[in-house]
């Protein structure tokens, strides 16, 4: 019995001693790898919170309303746009909701698939401004934030960075608890250690107090990702908790094969969308209904209408009460991530989270190089002697599919270093 207890005690002692070393190594190496990407993602995220203001600043999206002046009808605006861009097809249209907004058409070239955003003066039909969709400033910031300007590969890298941030939050909290000598007062900053430098203290306290919010911020962004996001959508479909169809071809057939009448569709749009801008989306498939959708600040005002393009008749109308419970929670998370759920408070809260991430990434990098950490000799690159550490690593990386290649690469380095060390020892003998 004593032998068994001593072995158990030895096992736990080894795990505790090695565990802290590996935790430190994981936190430092993760920060070293993702520091520049966290900085870019956080900075672009902070900028994208103000994407409407940015577009209004860079592009001529507003008009001067003259008393007594009336708008041209929407079909006339569409005809004028077609005249200026004869090779393009219109794919969606956002009519103006006030007296100072432009009508916005999105066009697509049938051969090159190039997309244009065109702002049209609703009073005289003149083109105020137009740009390639990918060259619009807000879309460039969005592409940098979600894809690093690298398409699907960049999207996977951003997802991997998000997963690494979650791991760094957990490891950082554990390290902060140990550095506080397991004292809640020191951990929360009510007491300070005499030998702790100001930058390290600021990094530890900001990380401690903002960790839950950063984690929530990261988790609410995962529905956009290619791997975890797809898994969430597939799960929603399996349990019949998907959002009503709003993107892509409508599942509903049009009532007739006549030509589309944009004036009738806009009439239906204005009846149901009084304050929030809504967009008419052309069906990419012939004989299908068009979709009218809005993106209001609060999810409860969401509406999705499938409409017959030739008569303006509503085929299917979805409101917030038609969203399943899981779809509602996902939509709430997306609105929280975009900074619109609680108005200006949500927006500035998200802005503060972005600034916190920027500070933590920069200060963490300074601390790593100030301490002159020898990364080549870190315990992370050695095969753990405790099987419990290996098991915990496997569980963590099994949870995040985009990090599988990171874990495989790590073990490739570990095994290579083990063989090299063994060879060097045999040579020295």
Assign residue 301 the CATH number of its domain.
3.10.450
Same domain assignment for residues 360 and 416: yes
Task: For tokens 């005289």, name the residue.
Answer: 124
Same domain assignment for residues 49 and 69: no
Same domain assignment for residues 55 and 126: no
**Which residues are paired to 293 by β-bridges?**
279, 304
Same domain assignment for residues 165 and 232: yes
Task: Write down which residue in 135, 154, 180 finishes a domain.
Answer: 135
Task: Write down which residue in 288, 322, 356 finishes a domain.
Answer: 322
Same domain assignment for residues 254 and 393: no
Same domain assignment for residues 225 and 371: yes
pLDDT band at 90 (very low <50, low <70, confident <90, very high): very high
The tens digit of pLDDT for each residue in 221-249 reads 999 999 999 999 999 999 999 999 999 88
The tens digit of pLDDT for each residue in 297-321 reads 899 999 999 999 999 999 999 999 9
Same domain assignment for residues 350 and 369: yes
Calculate ∠ Cα 379-23-418, nearest 5°: 20
Same domain assignment for residues 164 and 297: no
The tens digit of pLDDT for each residue in 17-35 reads 788 888 888 898 889 889 9
Look at residue 327 and tell me if it is in a domain: no
| Cα dihedral 247/252/257/261 (nearest 10) | -50
Same domain assignment for residues 169 and 307: no
- Average pLDDT (311-336) is 96
Domain count, the chain: 3
Segments forming the whole domain that contains residue 105: 62-135
Look at residue 78 and tell me if it is in a domain: yes
Same domain assignment for residues 161 and 184: yes
Look at residue 403 and tell me if it is in a domain: yes
Same domain assignment for residues 154 and 231: yes
Same domain assignment for residues 190 and 227: yes
How far is 167 from 20, CA to CA, in rounded Å?
A: 15
Look at residue 7 and tell me if it is in a domain: no
Look at residue 273 and tell me if it is in a domain: yes
Predicted TM-score (pTM) of this structure: 0.91
């Amino acid at each position: 019995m004593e032998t068994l207890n001593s072995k158990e005690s030895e096992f736990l002692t080894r795990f505790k001693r090695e565990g802290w070393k590996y935790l430190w190594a994981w936190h430092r190496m993760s920060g070293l790898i993702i520091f520049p990407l966290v900085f870019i993602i956080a900075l672009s995220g902070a900028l994208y919170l103000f994407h409407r203001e940015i577009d209004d600043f860079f592009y001529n999206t507003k008009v001067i309303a003259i008393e007594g002046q009336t708008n041209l009808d929407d079909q006339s605006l569409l005809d004028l746009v077609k005249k200026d861009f004869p090779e393009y097809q219109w794919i969606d249209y956002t009519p103006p909701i006030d007296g100072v907004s432009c009508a916005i058409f999105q066009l697509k070239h049938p051969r090159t698939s190039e997309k244009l955003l065109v702002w049209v003066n609703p009073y005289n039909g003149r083109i105020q401004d137009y740009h390639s969709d990918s060259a619009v400033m807000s879309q460039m910031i969005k592409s940098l934030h979600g894809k690093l300007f690298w398409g699907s590969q960049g999207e996977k890298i951003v997802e991997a960075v998000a997963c690494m941030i979650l791991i760094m939050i957990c490891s950082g909290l554990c390290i902060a608890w140990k550095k506080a000598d397991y004292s809640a007062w020191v951990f929360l900053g009510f007491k300070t250690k005499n030998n702790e430098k100001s930058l390290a203290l600021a990094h530890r306290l900001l990380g401690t107090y903002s960790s839950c919010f950063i984690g929530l911020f990261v988790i609410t962004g995962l529905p956009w990702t290619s791997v975890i996001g797809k898994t969430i959508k597939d799960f929603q479909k399996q349990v019949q908790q998907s959002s009503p169809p709003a993107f892509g071809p409508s599942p509903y057939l049009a009532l007739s094969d006549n030509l589309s009448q944009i004036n009738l569709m806009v009439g239906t749009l204005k009846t149901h969308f009084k304050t929030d801008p809504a967009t008419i989306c052309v069906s990419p498939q012939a004989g299908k209904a068009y979709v009218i959708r809005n993106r209001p600040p609060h999810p409860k005002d969401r509406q999705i209408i499938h409409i017959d393009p030739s008569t303006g008749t509503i085929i299917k109308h979805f409101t917030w009460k038609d969203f399943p419970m899981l779809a509602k929670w996902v939509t709430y998370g997306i609105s929280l991530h975009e900074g619109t759920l609680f108005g200006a408070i949500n927006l500035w809260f998200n802005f503060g989270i972005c600034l916190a991430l920027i500070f933590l990434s920069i200060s963490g990098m300074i601390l790593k190089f100030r301490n002159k950490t020898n990364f080549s000799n870190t315990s992370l690159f050695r095969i753990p002697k405790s099987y419990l550490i290996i098991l915990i690593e496997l569980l963590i990386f099994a949870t995040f599919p985009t990090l599988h290649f990171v874990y495989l690469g790590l073990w490739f380095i570990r095994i290579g270093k083990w063989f090299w060390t063994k060879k060097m020892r045999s040579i020295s003998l």
